[in-house]
Amino acid sequence: MNKSKHIRPSYALVPVVIFLMGSALFPRSLYAQNPACGSTNVPSGNLNLSWANQGPGFYYEITMESNIYGFVFVTNTSVPSLQFFADPGHIYTWGVRFAPVGTQDWSGFFDACTFATDCGSYPNAPACWVPTNYDVDPSSCNFFLFFGNSPLAIDDFELELSTDPSFPGGQTQTIYGSASFSLGDYSSTINVSNLAVGTKFFYRARAINDCGSQSPWSSVAWFHTRTAPKTLNLKLFLKGPLDATTLLMSDGLRTGGLLQNMGISPSVLSATGANAIVDEVLVWSHDPVEQDYFLQGWLLLVQRDGDIVTLAGNPLTVALPLGNVAFSFHHRNHLPVYVANPINANASSTINLDITQLSTPLYGTQATATVNGRRALWPGDVNSDGQVKYAGVNNDRDVVLSTVGGSVPTATITGQLDNADLNMDGVVKYAGANNDRDVILQTIGGSVPTAVRTAQVPF
């Protein structure tokens, strides 16, 4: 624990032995009588300060500072004593100088004099937490500590980390963090780096002051650091651009020059054939218990054959939360899907997840369309509200119509990346061959225009 932080008065405390006034000599130094310099466990509350009386011809200036608050006060008095309220668990630094009445011909301060008020005991423990239990970056992790309305001053927080919840000696890392004071509350942020990857850690914290008093330990909590990097081989089909015969998706957006501003590597964007880029997709990892808790997200690319790659054209390689992880897949105008069975991130250095396969369990009922024995995400969510609707309030069909102008249904829009382009051929059409309106009708069943298809996800 850092014990070098005691605050000294901003005035220079310079010992000078003799002060000359006319023919009279008198000492410039005043020595504390109560409390004496270096005193500990001085009772807190209303405290009487006193010092050597210089006689009726002098008055005194007293300064007081605290290691927690900093400057406390400066005041004058004509008597050699002063009462002030001292908080418990503080180290106070004080000094006195004197001058003849009616002048400001001050003597110098004596050397800084400090005393510590009684420490008592802390009634409770501080709060301590990390941002998430499941996804802590082992290279750098911040712990947040807080003690509100503490009856005692807090100088430091002590944090213990261990892979054993009993925190045995030799297996426990101890880190100290200085406490900051604001509006009656104490807090600290302690950064810990270079933790072991793929490991479960336990942690606890307590508060300490300069008197040596310690609060109780906080409750033992835990977190997982991320695993070593894993390669994720991911695959999906989007039904909108999917050819049911070849099971290849159209790359009309790419050939139409509509993917130029997405930060895609030029060599990746120029690829043709099965590896040509179709569009961007978003993949999320989730807490498998709190399924609506999003852990990590990646903006990726889907190729014509369904392979999902990074903007550089490679399989995704990332560190994952320790233990089981769930995944969801999203596209801007298709309904998302959530993989029902979590994946053990520690099982292998490679994770294969192909949601085009019927054997891959998905959350909900009819979460995807089935095309030639393979799964594909439902198209038609033009307004991205998690539903595909052909009629009624907030339906997707009207968005297609308004995109082409709203009055001439045979009009088309080309040359722009738009959610209304459901078959992703680079053209928004409301009527005629290969129109986008019919895609919505097919997704909801094709015969009952008031039917609604809702995303099968737990969030």
| Contact status, residue 226 vs residue 198, Cβ threshold 8 Å | yes
Contacts for 289 with CB less than 8 Å, ≥ 6 apart: none
Strand stretches in 209-249, DSSP E: 221-224, 230-235
Cα–Cα distance for residue pair 235/251, rounded to 1 Å: 16
Cα–Cα distance for residue pair 407/72, rounded to 1 Å: 75
Strand stretches in 259-373, DSSP E: 277-286, 294-303, 307-309, 316-318, 324-331, 334-338, 343-344, 350-354, 369-371
pLDDT in tens, the chain (459 residues): 443 333 333 333 333 333 333 333 444 557 778 999 889 889 989 999 999 898 899 999 999 998 877 889 999 999 999 999 998 888 899 989 899 999 988 886 656 789 988 877 788 899 998 877 777 889 999 999 999 887 777 889 999 999 999 999 889 999 999 989 888 799 999 999 999 998 999 999 999 876 778 899 999 999 989 889 999 999 999 999 999 999 999 999 999 999 987 889 999 999 999 999 999 999 999 989 889 888 899 999 999 999 999 999 999 999 988 889 999 999 999 999 999 999 998 888 999 999 999 999 999 999 999 999 999 999 999 999 999 999 999 999 999 999 999 989 999 999 999 999 999 999 999 999 999 999 999 999 998 999 999 999 999
Residue whose C-alpha is closest to residue 130's, from 181, 205, 197: 205
| Contact status, residue 62 vs residue 49, Cβ threshold 8 Å | yes
Name the residue with tokens 């930060």. 263
Range 73-98 burial, b when 16+ CB lie within 10 A, else e: eeeeeeebebeeebbbbbbbbbbbbb
Cα–Cα distance for residue pair 130/96, rounded to 1 Å: 46
- Assessment of whether the complete model's pTM goes beyond 0.75: no
CB atoms within 10 A of CB 123: 10
DSSP annotation of 119: -
Q: Which H helix or E strand runs over 117?
A: strand 113-117
